[in-house]
């Protein structure tokens, strides 16, 4: 008699539905995905905080930054054209003129620069290209990574010669 009572008690326990069955499988998967994306964003935010705290200890090499920033040869060509222009910067139409084999249009330069800056910003928290007036130019961070152009080095040398003490004209 005790044995049959146990079987009856086991049968009376209702089977519970899973969350996926309650809200639907697709909606449940979206909820899980949203939760995971939130966790990833918090981890990336902590990583950026750590990066900014240790920023002075990091030295980024140009090949690493190029790999992170550029997705195509066209991106690299645009970044290189901006770099070669020096600290004065370069107009978008001049970039198009320097790269005729890529068949670029002026408005595509903005998209490429924004894409490169977004990739760099997500990885390192800083941008490498900025707009100065109507011209595109490298930021201090970009110059630090890519190095100074020959034009900028010549300007620096001329500025030093002008300011040398003890020389009378």
- What does each C-alpha distance from 46 to 23, 36, 39 come to in angstroms? 33, 15, 11
Q: Percentage helix, strand, coil, to 5, in the chain? A: 70, 5, 25
8 found inside a domain: no
**In a shared domain, residues 37 and 100:** no
**Can you give the pLDDT at residue 116?**
94
144 found inside a domain: yes
**In a shared domain, residues 32 and 110:** no
40 found inside a domain: yes
Assessment of whether the complete model's pTM goes beyond 0.85: no
Domain count, the chain: 2
**In a shared domain, residues 99 and 44:** no
**In a shared domain, residues 71 and 116:** yes
CATH number, domain containing residue 118: 1.10.10.10
**In a shared domain, residues 84 and 131:** yes
Contact 116, 129 (CB under 8 A): yes
14 found inside a domain: no
> Is pLDDT above 60 for 160?
no
Contacts of 145 (CB under 8 A, 6+ apart): 60, 61, 62, 65, 128
Q: What is the pLDDT of residues 19-77, one digit of tens each?
A: 888 889 999 999 999 999 999 999 988 987 887 788 778 777 888 888 888 999 999 99
Domain of 44?
19-56
**Can you give the pLDDT at residue 138?**
92
**Can you give the pLDDT at residue 43?**
94
7 found inside a domain: no
**In a shared domain, residues 27 and 96:** no
- What does each C-alpha distance from 113 to 41, 72, 81, 153 come to in angstroms? 24, 12, 12, 25
**In a shared domain, residues 94 and 28:** no
Residue 135 phi/psi, 5-degree rounding, is -105, 150
149 found inside a domain: yes
> What are 154-163's contacts with CB under 8 Å, separation 24+?
155/86, 155/87
Q: What is the pLDDT of residues 108-157, one digit of tens each?
A: 889 999 999 999 988 888 899 999 999 999 998 888 888 766 665 566 55
**In a shared domain, residues 49 and 72:** no
């Amino acid at each position: 008699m005790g044995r049959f009572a146990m079987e009856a008690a086991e049968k009376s326990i209702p089977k519970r539905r899973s969350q996926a069955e309650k809200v639907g499988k697709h909606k449940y998967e979206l909820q899980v995905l949203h939760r995971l994306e939130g966790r990833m964003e918090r981890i990336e935010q902590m990583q950026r905080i750590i990066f900014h705290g240790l920023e002075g200890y990091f030295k980024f090499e140009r090949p690493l930054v190029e790999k992170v920033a550029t997705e195509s040869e066209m991106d690299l060509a645009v970044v290189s054209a901006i770099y070669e222009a020096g600290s004065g910067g370069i107009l978008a139409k001049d970039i198009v003129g320097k790269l005729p084999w890529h068949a670029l249009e002026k408005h595509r330069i903005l998209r490429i620069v924004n894409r490169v800056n977004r990739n760099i910003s997500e990885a390192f928290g800083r941008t490498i290209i900025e707009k100065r007036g109507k011209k595109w130019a490298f930021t201090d961070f970009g110059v630090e990574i890519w190095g100074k152009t020959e034009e900028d080095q010549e300007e620096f040398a001329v500025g030093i010669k002008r300011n040398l003490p003890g020389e009378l004209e």
